[in-house]
Structure 1
Amino acid sequence: MAREALRVLGRTYGEIDDSDGLLAGVASGLAEAHLEARQGHWRALAGLIRDRQPADAPTVYLRSIEPLRGQTGDRTYERLADLLLSARACHRALGTEDDFATYVAALRAGQRRKRKLMALLDRNGLWTPPRDTRDTSAPCPLRTGQGGLRGP
């Protein structure tokens, strides 16, 4: 975002010397403040909707998560976890926790390379337990003596 802001300034005011990186830092701070304000508006809207139309609140929370998926950084991860916790609370109140679990599983699959984010989600209980796909109806070969490891 900061580079785009510098390009716009350059087109408007001509060549800009940013050899010390000061302008890029300022532009980055402004872009982050803008995003934070936007996210704050979404959270406020979701809070209002939660009281009057609870079924619509999770959508607002999840919509505000989407722009954060492509970003990195501790503050971004904290915001993302906060929004997910709010969305989970809504889904619990509505009895649609399975929908939320599916969303979180997909989000985690797409973000799995972000180790800090995964650790933060784990600490906040925003994970989905692995499904047990083993066939438990078949007898266990170790218990019945049908192959597997042999005793002495």
Structure 2
Amino acid sequence: MKAVLQRVAHARVEVEGRTVGAIEAGLLVLLCAERGDHDALAERLLAKILKMRIFADEAGKMNRSLQDIGGGLLVVSQFTLAADVSGGNRPSFTQAAAPDEGRRLYELFVGLARAAHPVVATGEFGADMQVHLMNDGPVTIPLQMK
């Protein structure tokens, strides 16, 4: 599984002009399931995200986790993270999980997140989404679990 984390002051996702998910300070997670990904990867990725120390402490050092600050988690499906452009200028998405499996892993990840963290919002799987965010820092971190 792949994810891009963005530390945000606030973020929201709109579908057809309506807000479907929003958070204040926390993490926006763009999440991609790839072929061969399995449940244990979703569990490991979530554990890493919740404990990653990328929020400032009193001294201004990145020493606090999402759990430490009680921030929000906004999870957005993003199959385009599986893009391969090694063969030319048009991306290939053959490494992305099939839609049904991608949805299942996304929903598993969201369910695990809701069980482990008090503030979880989402986008809408498979929808044309507009993501609005104010990146804090900016801090943007790519993650991949294999």
TM-score (norm 2): 0.24
| Bigger Rg over Cα | 1
TM-score scaled by structure 1? 0.24
Q: More relative contact order in 1 or in 2 (CA 8 Å, sep 6+)?
A: 2
